[in-house]
Chain A
């Protein structure tokens, strides 16, 4: 028996084929068991074929008129479409007509020259089974089904949101695929890479990717000593949901004491310099320690988070630290983040629901009102173009590293 690849419910199965394909029309007697007969036999002698014990399918040559099967589909176990040469594309239109015009929902099987690099197109027009040609390896053919993750056009298998008709869904799917690609590449090229999470919604999404796809990326967070309890609570949530132990970096206690002694506990409200000094002690220095000796780090920054991030590339060179830096969510919108979190049940910092889209240290973060800029609640007494803590030094420069 030859091998058959079958698609059902977006899953692939490789099985033995129980059907025998009869090439010649006009047989006097049919063999026992499951058979696939030429179109002419089915059109002329369907009633006789239906009285057999085995199941009956029909096969179409490229030049056949598919529409002759209208009203004659009852009793068919499958419809096979023959590809004498893979460059003969008529079979694709047969399948499209069977699905769209005749409403055939049963098996459509590709037989003949069925090769790895065509099965993707075949699946998209409605083929659900592929007869593996002699001498070919089924698994190799199957690998061709995964070449693309999105499509522009309507798709018979329903595997894709067609971008021409449902752009929002297709874009969201594309972003998820591209983010995963970036993360996989980072994991492969930089085994020492660290992801710095602020435990925000964006960073929880990245954490979810890392956990879901078991990526060997170290996760670290900065406990500045002045975070909200809700934020710190997310460390336990991550452990509970994903089993990931986030490494917690803390500021140098002596530096904190010296700063507070010299300037008081709320000096950051007084001037940009003092605020940056505080950020330097509580965030930048601990991050530097976390990244010391590493060749790359990752963030959950997005372009539309802030005016300081509009040119954020997916990958850049962190010149200050002399290492690579990746922003896999660079092109995600806030709605993309929330949609992903809802779809994959990602735990979120409860402060988000209370009007905090961007969360930093407790004294330096407030809720925003509807319609306010998402970063309006960070260092709200400062100019929008100054609102960076110093972790992300700019201007961000796109890296020359290959995009492959």
Chain B
């Protein structure tokens, strides 16, 4: 992974020192609440329902074991013992004290981490495929491009006060695991006929109250021009994006209002002046950054591989774990392993300080001391030798990460919701728990791949628009109600879910979800996944299943 040099280190140290000064000025009354707000937001500090929330950047989801141990320590020393991994591959703490945040930032700086631009109306942490660099279907390793974007967007003076937040994602694989279609700006990396990296650029996607899928605005952008082109996009957005209405300020509204073609033409016009200029990526700098993402010292395939069939046959749970939590790898003899943070009970994506330390130990023992955070809110050990899989499984059973549910009904994405978030209309975590409790291990195996995503409000942090089944919390006369959506997906065939009908009460949700699943089981043909069946039979049967009383009445 990328290791800091003196420049990166000095910047996070100076940022921590700057924020210490700003916090002191705020606490002494010199800085008003209004003046402090954008400053703390650009360091990841929100004021939440119960306490301030601090969000820490995990650049494109990559973590070292040392960093994860520090995150665990911060959970124990400064918070209530746990942290929450987010759908943007970051981590947030829900119970920090404002006065102690500068100390946290100092501890983070010492392990090459920070909260820079994790909130506020600026360019946020770049996200990508949690299998970047190891995926069997990878065409281009996106990580060096993500790091270039991280550096270019960090303290970029022109784009620190945008109309609204701005999220950038990269995909370099055959299967899009980064949900690029629902980002403000996204790059799809591929190779041209000459073997050079080129990029298709999408802009204007997003979730929230006006969900939109990003149109492609540029094809085959040469990689060296990635930043000049980004500058052109950002300048167009900064100048012409709406600032009069918070809800119409994202770039998707600008792109939609003038049309993708016109937006693309405007960007092209701006880019003419920028391409080949100072922000063109120099080969030397690319090589320096890319040198951080070389393969670890893999064993030869015959030494790494192992025949696990006897162990599988002897232990069905190990077998289920291999099928669900272990992913193919570009390297023979290796696999990527997901440590599930979706246990029934704790909030999806939550981990205690002890669990973070335990995961760090597993990374040291089995995966070259590195981990990834997936946008599905799980941890991934990306480089595990197959001969170690049984040992790793046993160790993860002992630490509670071995739930064999990756991609299944209980692998739910949920935002912190009304339990923590000041914006939420309704709780998300208890809904997740109630749904998880409905599905036995056997039932969810029978159901197969199914992505349930829950947001506590229309801001859509729980990605409900792109869940195969989406659940959205809404406020009705001060009560918690929920809308159900079906048919969303965030992969290559990205699609926004359709709202099934009127909202339902908290206690009706688990039953309704179960009826949707049963409707699928009743209709599915051989080998069909839930989302395939929805595609074939349409939404109507699911509407009927969600509201049975309506059918009876009719």
- Interface residues of chain A, those whose CB is within 8 Å of chain B, are 62, 86-90, 92-93, 96-97, 100-101, 115, 117-118, 120-122, 124-125, 147-154, 162-165, 167, 170-171, 174-175, 177-178, 181, 331, 402-404
Q: Whole-angstrom distance from the CB of B117 to the nearest CB of chain A?
A: 12
Given contacts A163-B7, A403-B13, are A152 and B152 in contact (CB under 8 A)?
Answer: yes
Given contacts A93-B238, A121-B157, are A87 and B9 in contact (CB under 8 A)?
Answer: no
Judge whether A153 and B279 touch: CB under 8 Å.
Answer: yes
Given contacts A89-B238, A178-B9, are A122 and B151 in contact (CB under 8 A)?
Answer: no
Q: Whole-angstrom distance from the CB of B317 to the nearest CB of chain A?
A: 41
Judge whether B10 and A92 touch: CB under 8 Å.
Answer: no
Chain A residues contacting B121 (CB-CB under 8 Å) are 87, 89
Chain A residues contacting B9 (CB-CB under 8 Å) are 174, 178
CB nearest to B277 among chain A residues: A100
Say which residue of B109, B158, B239 sits within 8 Å of A125 (CB atoms): B158
Chain A residues contacting B278 (CB-CB under 8 Å) are 154, 162, 165
CB-based closest 10 A-B pairs: A89-B161, A121-B157, A174-B6, A124-B157, A174-B10, A152-B151, A92-B158, A174-B7, A147-B18, A154-B278
Say which residue of B14, B18, B148 sits within 8 Å of A164 (CB atoms): B148
Say which residue of A115, A152, A167 sits within 8 Å of B288 (CB atoms): A167
Chain B residues contacting A163 (CB-CB under 8 Å) are 7, 151
Chain B residues contacting A402 (CB-CB under 8 Å) are 106
Judge whether A93 and B158 touch: CB under 8 Å.
Answer: yes
Judge whether A92 and B273 touch: CB under 8 Å.
Answer: no
Residue B35 at the chain A interface, CB threshold 8 Å: yes
Contacts A89-B160, A121-B157, A164-B282 aside, 13 further interface pairs with beta carbons under 8 A come to A88-B243, A89-B162, A92-B238, A96-B158, A96-B235, A117-B39, A121-B158, A152-B152, A153-B155, A153-B157, A164-B285, A171-B6, A178-B9
Q: Whole-angstrom distance from the CB of A209 to the nearest CB of chain B?
A: 15
Judge whether B13 and A178 touch: CB under 8 Å.
Answer: yes
Bound Cα distance from A151 to B278, whole angstroms: 14
Judge whether A175 and B6 touch: CB under 8 Å.
Answer: yes
Say which residue of A115, A125, A165 sits within 8 Å of B282 (CB atoms): A165
Given contacts A89-B238, A404-B106, are A170 and B35 in contact (CB under 8 A)?
Answer: no
Bound Cα distance from A293 to B244, whole angstroms: 65
Say which residue of A89, A117, A149, A154 sits within 8 Å of B10 (CB atoms): A149
Judge whether B155 and A152 touch: CB under 8 Å.
Answer: yes
Chain B residues contacting A167 (CB-CB under 8 Å) are 5, 7, 284-285, 288
Bound Cα distance from A93 to B234, whole angstroms: 9
Judge whether A90 and B239 touch: CB under 8 Å.
Answer: yes
Judge whether A153 and B156 touch: CB under 8 Å.
Answer: yes
Main secondary structure of the interface of B (DSSP, over half): helix
Bound Cα distance from A245 to B308, whole angstroms: 72
Q: Whole-angstrom distance from the CB of B416 to the nearest CB of chain A?
A: 25
Judge whether A150 and B239 touch: CB under 8 Å.
Answer: no
A-B contact pairs, 29 of them (CB 8 A): A86-B38, A86-B161, A90-B239, A92-B160, A96-B235, A101-B273, A117-B39, A120-B157, A124-B157, A125-B158, A147-B18, A148-B15, A148-B18, A150-B10, A152-B7, A152-B151, A152-B152, A153-B155, A153-B279, A154-B278, A154-B279, A164-B152, A164-B285, A165-B279, A165-B282, A174-B6, A174-B10, A178-B13, A402-B106
Q: Whole-angstrom distance from the CB of B264 to the nearest CB of chain A?
A: 19
Q: Whole-angstrom distance from the CB of B552 to the nearest CB of chain A?
A: 54
CB nearest to A89 among chain B residues: B161
Residue B78 at the chain A interface, CB threshold 8 Å: no
Chain B residues contacting A151 (CB-CB under 8 Å) are 11, 155, 157
Given contacts A89-B161, A92-B238, A167-B288, are A148 and B155 in contact (CB under 8 A)?
Answer: yes
Chain A residues contacting B450 (CB-CB under 8 Å) are none
Judge whether A152 and B154 touch: CB under 8 Å.
Answer: yes
Given contacts A117-B39, A171-B7, are A164 and B279 in contact (CB under 8 A)?
Answer: yes
Say which residue of A62, A125, A178, A331 sits within 8 Å of B157 (CB atoms): A125
Report which residue of B155, B157, B285 has the largest number of chain A beta carbons within 10 angstroms of its beta carbon: B157
Residue B498 at the chain A interface, CB threshold 8 Å: no
Bound Cα distance from A135 to B162, whole angstroms: 27
Chain B residues contacting A87 (CB-CB under 8 Å) are 38, 121, 161
Bound Cα distance from A89 to B106, whole angstroms: 29
Residue B22 at the chain A interface, CB threshold 8 Å: yes
Judge whether B238 and A178 touch: CB under 8 Å.
Answer: no
Residue B110 at the chain A interface, CB threshold 8 Å: yes
Bound Cα distance from A123 to B227, whole angstroms: 21
Residue B223 at the chain A interface, CB threshold 8 Å: no
Judge whether B161 and A404 touch: CB under 8 Å.
Answer: no
Annotate B404-428 by CB proximity to A: 1 below 8 A, 0 otherwise. 0000000000000000000000000
Chain A residues contacting B384 (CB-CB under 8 Å) are none
Chain B residues contacting A154 (CB-CB under 8 Å) are 278-279
Q: Whole-angstrom distance from the CB of A128 to the nearest CB of chain B?
A: 14
Chain B residues contacting A124 (CB-CB under 8 Å) are 157
Q: Whole-angstrom distance from the CB of A142 to the nearest CB of chain B?
A: 14
Chain A residues contacting B162 (CB-CB under 8 Å) are 89
Chain A residues contacting B284 (CB-CB under 8 Å) are 167
Chain A residues contacting B279 (CB-CB under 8 Å) are 153-154, 164-165
Bound Cα distance from A93 to B148, whole angstroms: 21
Judge whether B11 and A148 touch: CB under 8 Å.
Answer: yes
